[in-house]
Structures are given as structure tokens and as C-alpha cells.
């Protein structure tokens, strides 16, 4: 399930996307922010709690793809460096952020969706 309803508000969770649910998850959400990452990636570990904060503070629909588990998804989108965050609107990439960024920079990158 992509979202849960809590106290009358739509509350998004960070979900782990797979090759089986990736396309349907994008179709189910007009906006989706997807973090391509790996367990061994130091910058990915720095970015993850920042994305958690943004999800909580701004109710952003954020999902993750482990590039080691699903290389076909990273290949589909030409992911060569991780972390890479793609913003999808209606299943179309509208923004790409490569590398770990501090929260204040991500806020500027995502400001039109806040």
C-alpha cells in the first residue's frame, strides 16, 4: 500500500519500490520522489534521514529503489551515480538531483512541490 489515512490527513510513508511495483506506484501517485540508493553507499546513508524529515514535515510521497536489488530500474533511468533522486509527475521525470545534498538545498530543489 502506498499511503495510509491518519486523522483525516493523507500521510505518505517511504516505500521500497521493486521491479514488480514500480510502474503501478508511479501511476497511483501524481507526484512521486524516488531515491535510488544502496546499502554500502555512505552519501546515501546521509541522505536517507533528510528524506525522512522532508516526508514527515511536508507530507511528500517519497519512495526508494535499492540499485543492487533492482539494477534494471536504475538502468532504465540511466542512474550512474548514487544517491540519485528523481521527481516524477504523472510518471514523467521532471527533476533529477544527483548526490547527497543538505536539507536546505533539497528544500530549494523541491520547493514547487512543498
pLDDT at position 53: 93
Active-site annotation holds for 111: no
**Catalytic site residue from 17, 32, 34, 44:** 44
Question: Distance (Å, rounded) from C-alpha 114 to C-alpha 99?
Answer: 21
Is domain 9-108 classified as CATH 2.60.40.10? no
Within the chain, which residues score under 50 in pLDDT? 1-11
**What pLDDT score was predicted for residue 15?**
87
pTM for the whole structure: 0.87
- Helix, strand, coil proportions of the chain in percent (round to 5)? 35, 30, 35
- Catalytic residue from among 41, 67, 85, 86: 41
The domain ranges of the chain are 9-108
48 is catalytic: no
| Ranges of H-type helices in 1-96 | 22-28, 42-58, 71-76
3-state secondary structure of 106: helix
Amino acid at each position: 500500500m502506498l499511503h495510509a489515512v491518519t486523522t483525516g490527513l493523507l500521510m505518505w510513508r517511504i516505500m521500497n519500490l521493486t521491479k514488480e511495483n514500480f510502474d503501478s506506484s508511479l501511476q497511483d501517485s501524481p507526484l512521486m520522489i524516488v531515491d535510488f540508493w544502496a546499502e554500502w553507499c555512505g552519501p546515501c546513508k546521509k541522505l536517507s534521514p533528510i528524506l525522512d524529515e522532508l516526508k514527515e514535515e511536508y507530507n511528500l510521497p517519497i519512495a526508494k529503489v535499492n540499485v543492487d536489488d533492482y539494477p534494471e530500474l536504475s538502468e532504465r533511468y540511466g542512474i550512474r551515480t548514487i544517491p540519485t533522486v528523481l521527481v516524477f509527475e504523472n510518471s514523467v521525470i521532471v527533476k533529477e538531483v544527483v548526490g547527497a545534498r543538505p536539507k536546505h538545498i533539497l528544500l530549494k530543489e523541491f520547493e514547487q512541490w512543498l
